[in-house]
């Protein structure tokens, strides 16, 4: 067992590396947007001061990086010295609870700052850190399944038309539990209900540069124009057969399209087309679906999801 001071010293020494120090200092690029975040009105005089905006934003980064819930994020910050070092918290300082994290996330959504932070500040942060997109882009889509909604036929018809059933208006608690934005779709004899994550990652660093979230019924190719990254200096665009169309090829006329060739009925792929698909797959070391493909490992009966 190491003494307390020795443990803190070891954690501090590990976080004094240049890469970690630069990453924590470079997060100041996100601070100008903090003024536009709506703040709760004080209920009365006195009380503790509100938590720093940058502290809550860093906690959200840790939450997304380690796939934690709000309660687990609060606990891990209390428990881990490395998290406290990243947040620049002393051992005696208080930590924002899970309710504060939830309110902060909702305030970002109400102020519509998520897109602004991702599109401007985060891209600037990656560029300054040396993660510029230069070697091409990969486009892919993944399903996000949600709980299937139990509805009557008339209620489902009204929801598909964008209306709220009259019975739900009288029962507010029931209406809150219904997800009216998710849709159902069919793929390879399998039915999916939920949403789709459409992303664009750069070929070298595998970092997400553009993203679009839609319901599951939207076809992959409909979001291709919104996913293309104009700042990517590479000319190659990799995608699977779902994005293959004449409109897509015309859209990529000034770039090098590496979209997989698609076979038609009674018209199988030629040897040249199969070789082209194989080379496009080998050009991305981990495959086209790797940025979105979680792999599972079981530890003591628990399923850990990692990306």
pLDDT tens digit sequence for 150-159: 888 888 888 7
In contact, 245 and 223? CB cutoff 8 Å: no
Give the chain's length. Answer: 307
Residue 291 has pLDDT above 80, yes or no: no
- Nearest CA among 153, 138, 265, 143 for reference residue 208: 138
Residues 197-212, mean pLDDT to the nearest whole number: 85
How much is the average pLDDT of 30-36?
A: 58
**What digits encode the pLDDT tens for the residues 235-257?**
888 888 888 888 888 788 777 77
Asked whether the beta carbons of 89 and 95 are under 8 A apart, the reply is yes
Q: Is the pLDDT of residue 272 over 90?
A: no
Rg (CA), the chain: 24
- Rounded to whole angstroms, the Cα distance separating 95 from 97 reads 6
Most confident range, picked from 65-79, 113-127, 241-255:
65-79
The pTM of the full predicted model, rounded to 2 decimals, is 0.67
Return the closest-CA partner of residue 260 out of 242, 278, 246, 240: 240
């Amino acid at each position: 067992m190491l003494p307390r001071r020795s443990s803190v010293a070891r954690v501090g020494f590990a976080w004094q590396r240049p890469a970690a120090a630069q990453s924590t200092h470079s997060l100041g690029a996100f601070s100008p947007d903090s003024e536009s975040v709506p703040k709760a009105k004080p209920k009365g005089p006195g009380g503790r001061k509100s938590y720093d905006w940058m502290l809550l934003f860093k906690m959200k980064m840790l939450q997304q990086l380690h796939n934690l819930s709000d309660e687990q994020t609060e606990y891990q910050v209390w428990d881990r010295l490395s998290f406290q070092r990243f947040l620049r918290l002393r051992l005696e300082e208080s930590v924002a609870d899970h309710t504060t994290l939830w309110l902060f996330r909702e305030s970002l959504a109400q102020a519509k700052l998520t897109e602004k932070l991702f599109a401007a500040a985060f891209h600037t942060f990656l560029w300054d850190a040396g993660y510029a997109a230069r070697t091409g882009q990969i486009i892919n889509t993944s399903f996000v399944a949600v709980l299937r909604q139990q509805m009557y036929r008339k209620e489902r018809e009204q929801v598909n038309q964008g209306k709220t059933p009259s019975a739900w208006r009288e029962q507010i608690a029931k209406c809150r539990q219904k997800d009216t934005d998710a849709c159902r779709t069919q793929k390879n004899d399998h039915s999916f209900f939920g949403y789709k994550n459409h992303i664009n990652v750069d070929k070298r660093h595998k970092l997400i540069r553009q993203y679009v979230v839609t319901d599951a019924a939207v076809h992959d190719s409909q979001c291709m124009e919104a996913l293309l990254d104009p700042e990517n200096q590479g000319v190659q665009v990799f995608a699977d057969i779902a994005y293959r169309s004449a409109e897509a090829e015309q859209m990529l006329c000034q770039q090098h399209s590496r979209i997989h060739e698609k076979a038609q009925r009674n018209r199988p792929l030629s040897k040249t087309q199969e070789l082209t698909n194989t080379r496009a797959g080998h050009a991305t070391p981990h495959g086209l679906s790797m940025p979105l493909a979680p792999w599972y490992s079981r530890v003591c009966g628990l399923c850990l999801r990692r990306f």
